[in-house]
Structure 1
């Protein structure tokens, strides 16, 4: 008989260890918080967000997001630009784009190392299972932007459909 509690516990241990590897390497190398790293990655994919929306996507209040943008702007990684009306948008500078790419690379390397412990068939099976779990997580949160805030979107859709994006499209069509 399968022990679901053990499987859940193993998943928790793997999730924490993988998170530690992915975030620690990326943020330590860049010398920034995980929220700031996520902000650069989000802006790489969605340039021109307002501070409030950027904060929402990385899990910060508007005031915390404004302070983070101030810091990123002081480091010349982002710049504020006037938008429509009173809206101010945030975009990456050339340096910010470079750091965002470095963050994704630093995040991806330890993850690739973990996956390399599996053979090709096991990797395919894991990808299918992870897609199923991500679909469930999206159904519970309904927030693709937050769920994928540190994703390397280009690698996610290379030869495949992003499971979170598909879950979001399915939710829109069904609801």
Structure 2
């Protein structure tokens, strides 16, 4: 790899850390607690009725960690566990309070990312969208990967989601 390629790769890694940190800080502040609480709320908001096992796979959290997370979410009054269809796995749904906190977390995420994006020109915005689409689309190999990549997404902001389109293309193979 030439020097400019090495620099680009290194800068991509640094930018990823910057963006991840800014988003995590904004979501944590909005939720009032760190860890995976905000990610879990947004993931459940996006796909209500999924189980704790699904949430564990999306967040890449262990089974005991997920049990603790779901317990914290229910204790906060943000999540309700539905009736198990198979006798074991119970669907997760946000309460009205959980919806409000998830919405606030998404607003905080959007605001933090807009502050970063404000540093870019209109042309750079278009370039960034194209680059992000090229990086993200091929990663969506299955439904869980799709959910993992989009676990903090504001779906309304991205009507032509490259991750969803990549997942659809993966299913056609």
Query: Structure 2: any 5+ residue segments left out of the alignment?
Result: none
- Identify the residue that residue 102 of structure 1 maps to in structure 2: 104
1:52 touches 1:61 (CA, 8 Å); kept in 2? no
Greater Cα offset, 56-65 or 89-98: 56-65
Structure 2 matches for 1:87-98, cutoff 5 A? 87-98=89-100
- Identify the residue that residue 4 of structure 1 maps to in structure 2: 5
Structure 2 matches for 1:4-23, cutoff 5 A? 4-23=5-24
Structure 2 matches for 1:7-156, cutoff 5 A? 7-86=8-87, 87-138=89-140, 143-156=145-158
Q: C-alpha displacement at 1:142, in angstroms?
A: 7.4
Query: Structure 1: any 5+ residue segments left out of the alignment?
Result: none
SS at match of 1:88: coil
Q: TM-score, normalised by structure 1?
A: 0.90
Alpha carbons of structure 1 residues 155 and 10: separation in structure 2 relative to 1, 3 Å? same
SS at match of 2:125: helix
Q: C-alpha displacement at 1:88, in angstroms?
A: 1.1
SS at match of 1:82: coil
Q: C-alpha displacement at 1:11, in angstroms?
A: 1.0
2:81 touches 2:92 (CA, 8 Å); kept in 1? yes
> What number of residue pairs does the alignment pair up?
171
Alpha carbons of structure 1 residues 142 and 4: separation in structure 2 relative to 1, 3 Å? farther
Distance 1:171 1:127 in 2: 21
SS at match of 1:8: helix
CA RMSD for the aligned pairs? 1.9
